[in-house]
Amino acid sequence: MFSTEDSIVAIATPPGRGGIGIVRISGPSANAIARSLLQHPSPLRARHATHTRVIGRDAEAPAAFDEVVATYFPSPHSYTGEDVVEISAHGSPVVLNAIVAGAIAAGGRLAAPGEFTLRAFLNGKRDLVQAEAVADLIDAVTPLQARVAFDQLDGTLTRRIGEIDGTLFHLLARLEASLDFPDEGYHFVEPGAAALEIEGVIAELDDLLASGRRGRLVREGATVVVIGRPNVGKSSLFNRLAGAERAIVTEIPGTTRDLVTERIDLEGLAITLVDTAGARATLDRIEHEGVTRAAQARGVADLLLVILDSSEPLTPDDERVLRETEGQKRLVVANKSDCGPAGAASAIAVSARTGDGVDRLRCAIRGALLGHETMRDTAAITNIRHIALLEDARGNLDAARSAAGDAGAPEEFVLADLQAARARLDEIVGTRTSEDVLQHIFERFCIGK
């Protein structure tokens, strides 16, 4: 999987038709392969856009079939660290596929998913955190997702982990020096001081891990489920939040029979909003199935919006929904505020009909999911792989702190736990990572990236 001796080629722009499409070639023969495809008499100049024509290779007398712009990036100053040629052609799938087929006939190989970024990693152009951030940036659907992914691509998280690793390395060096001179009685760090330094590193890891839940919500999005008894305006509020008439709204109770979902961007957070059937006992088989599905949706929700009706006193169905959701993360919302005061003191008053209070509700949803701290200028953890490795490293440091605080414990125990913690940090950035892990990471990339 990790051979870099051949040259690879793929379409680097999204599938479909467009004004421009790009074919990327990378590897030791990239320049020669590109030259065989181009109707250009002189060599390509480095980092210079060359207007030329591309020719076919499957006929005895090759004919030009498109005007292109070819750009040559010699090693190591390219995305992959290898020789790279990018051919910008008209964005017809027929044209782009013909260029790829010609490059393969000239000795190239079709790239595997993520292979260009994998080569960038193997050639030291990106560490593993940055490589994963490339895929996150491509997949981003909100500005906040894009910004957090770019922060990681820019090395914010890598630098933070590097600082923690540097502290551990300095402590390890002093402990090992103490072991190297046992007879002379040198102690480059006292056990009590070592325990305090380890405590400081644990605090830094805890700070990173604290951002993990918020970071994962930014990266993966959240599910917000709208629940309540029939006719409190759940579907109307759902439509107002979604910005479209997605759910059917009538004055007849029980109109919603199934789950209705809509993906929305809420202050930069990707939200899957789910409208549900009204919670009540019913003999109607179809409505009963809808109520059952609504109950199931509650179990997977990151946040519940419990909708009440401001214009009416609380009913037994309202009280049952409030009671059943008491242990879950929820916001209680009093709809129809234009018709009467909120029935519950802690409820957020809104009117789905007029829009009054909906902006407050949006802010409250974001605050309930992410807290009210900004994620700007922080090394946000968004990847579950990173979180798991940081938790492992924290466990190693806990053991090292206990050993350092135990006067009878040999210093070798502390060293072993500190080295294990550093190994986990190395796995995050890719200094030590198995081929299986790399394959799992890069296979989710699109071909051409």
Average pLDDT over residues 249-256: 49
Question: Higher pLDDT residue, 183 or 291?
Answer: 291
CB contact at 8 A, 144 and 375: yes
Tokens read off for 236: 């109307």
Phi-psi region of 336 (alpha: psi -120 to 50; beta: other; left: phi over 0): left
Determine the pLDDT at residue 58. 59
- Which of 55-64, 154-163, 170-179 is predicted with the least confidence, judged by mean pLDDT? 55-64
Neighbours of 3 (CB within 10 A): 8
- pLDDT, one tens digit per residue, over 43-95 is 899 999 999 999 876 555 467 788 999 999 999 999 999 999 999 999 999 99
* Report for 25-29, 111-115, 133-137, 243-247: range of highest mean pLDDT: 25-29
Considering 86-95, 248-257, 294-303, the range whose residues carry the highest mean pLDDT is 86-95
List the domains of the chain with CATH numbers. 8-125 (3.30.1360.120), 138-211+380-430 (1.20.120.430), 222-370 (3.40.50.300)
Condensed to tens digits (0 to 9), the pLDDT of residues 108-158 reads: 999 999 999 999 999 999 999 999 999 888 888 888 888 888 888 888 889
In this prediction, residue 324 has a pLDDT band, given cuts at 50, 70 and 90, of confident
> Is pLDDT above 80 for 355?
yes
Residue 86 and residue 24 in contact, taking contact as beta carbons nearer than 8 Å: yes
Query: For position 331, what pLDDT does the model report?
Result: 92
pTM score: 0.74
For residue 172, pLDDT beyond 90 = no
pLDDT at 407: 61
Q: Is the pLDDT of residue 8 over 60?
A: yes
The Cα–Cα gap between 449 and 445 comes to: 7
Check if the beta carbon of residue 12 is closer than 8 Å to that of residue 22: yes
pLDDT-derived band at 272, boundaries 50, 70, 90: confident
pLDDT given for residue 397 in this prediction: 94
CB 304 within 8 A of CB 319: no
The C-alpha atoms of residue 19 and residue 114 are separated, in whole angstroms, by: 24
Between CA 213 and CA 42 the distance in angstroms is 55
Q: What is the pLDDT of residue 418?
A: 92
List, for residues 357-402, the tens digit of each pLDDT value: 999 999 999 888 887 655 554 557 888 899 999 999 999 999 999 8
Strand order across the beta sheet in which 222-227 lies = 260-266, 269-275, 222-227, 303-309, 330-335, 348-349
